[in-house]
């Protein structure tokens, strides 16, 4: 079954360091997303990406964040200078028809980021 | 602006009881999509269902059923004969067709605990 994968599953970093979170979306999907979930809170939209450019971003997605699709398979989220409040689970999603037979967003397992 | 409210933060039931999770949404779009996702203790987000705003037919899938009522802007989820494996956080989400990136706006989630 095709699925969205994310690496690493966990990352610990020092405040001020740069981190890159990686995602491999489902291969025939064209729309990609990043969401985050602070522990115990709801899932929040960060950014959507289509045709090699950002289609929409939230207020959370400030200049410290960037996304890239460096090749035909990977989709990355970079945080330039991490802050304590960036600690969260980061979910990648891709949109298309998946195993359910319906078009929807399918989520990866997440990367848990801890900023110390 | 779109908004999703899940008033029940936590529900506890005993196995085999039926349970309904409430979801109320706000949107100005006439075309939109409603979703339910399950987040088990392992943390991933599992897609359960997508409904279109122009299709108010209720849906049943095994022990799961969904009641979409446009008149009250609600999209409630019922689990019949609950099982311990149903214990998870359940998120209702909304996507507006007029939104370029089709981002999902999530509710705060309902934590369901099913006791044996």
pLDDT digits (tens, 9 = 90+) for A47-106: 999 988 999 999 999 999 999 998 878 999 999 999 999 999 999 999 988 777 778 899
Q: Residue B97's pLDDT is what?
A: 82
Segments of chain B assigned E as strands: 3-5, 10-14, 19-21, 24-26, 32-39, 46-52, 59-61, 64-69, 74-79, 88-96, 105-106, 110-115
Residue A1 has pLDDT above 70, yes or no: no
Residue B78's beta-bridge partner residues? B20, B65
For residue range B6-59, list pLDDT tens digits in order: 999 999 999 999 999 999 999 999 999 999 999 999 999 999 999 999 888 888
On whether the CB atoms of residues B110 and B9 are closer than 8 A, the answer is yes
What is the number of CB-based contacts under 8 A between chain A and chain B? 60
Q: Do B103 and A31 touch (CB under 8 A)?
A: no
**Could you tell me which chain B residue has the CA closest to the CA of A103?**
B50
Distance CA A108, CA A9 (A): 10
Distance CA A109, CA A104 (A): 16
């Amino acid at each position: 079954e095709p699925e969205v994968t994310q690496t690493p599953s966990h990352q610990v970093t020092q405040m001020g360091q740069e981190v890159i979170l990686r995602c491999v979306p489902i291969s025939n999907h064209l729309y990609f997303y990043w969401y985050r979930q602070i522990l115990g809170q709801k899932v929040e939209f960060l950014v959507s990406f289509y045709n090699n450019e950002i289609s929409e971003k939230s207020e959370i997605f400030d200049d410290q964040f960037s996304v890239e699709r460096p090749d035909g398979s990977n989709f990355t989220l970079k945080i330039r200078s991490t802050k304590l409040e960036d600690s969260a689970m980061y979910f990648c999603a891709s949109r298309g028809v998946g195993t359910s037979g319906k078009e929807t967003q399918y989520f990866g397992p997440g990367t848990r980021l801890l900023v110390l | 602006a779109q908004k999703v409210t899940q008033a029940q933060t936590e529900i506890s039931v005993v196995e085999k009881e039926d349970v309904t999770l409430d979801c109320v949404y706000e949107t100005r779009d006439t075309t939109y999509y409603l979703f339910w996702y399950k987040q088990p203790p392992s943390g991933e987000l599992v897609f359960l269902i997508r409904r279109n705003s122009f299709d108010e037919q209720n849906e049943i899938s095994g022990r799961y059923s969904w009641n979409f009522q446009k008149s009250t802007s609600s999209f409630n989820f019922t689990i019949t004969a609950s099982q311990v494996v149903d214990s998870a956080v359940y998120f209702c989400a909304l996507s507006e067709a007029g939104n370029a990136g089709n981002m999902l706006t999530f509710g705060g989630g309902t934590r369901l605990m099913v006791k044996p």
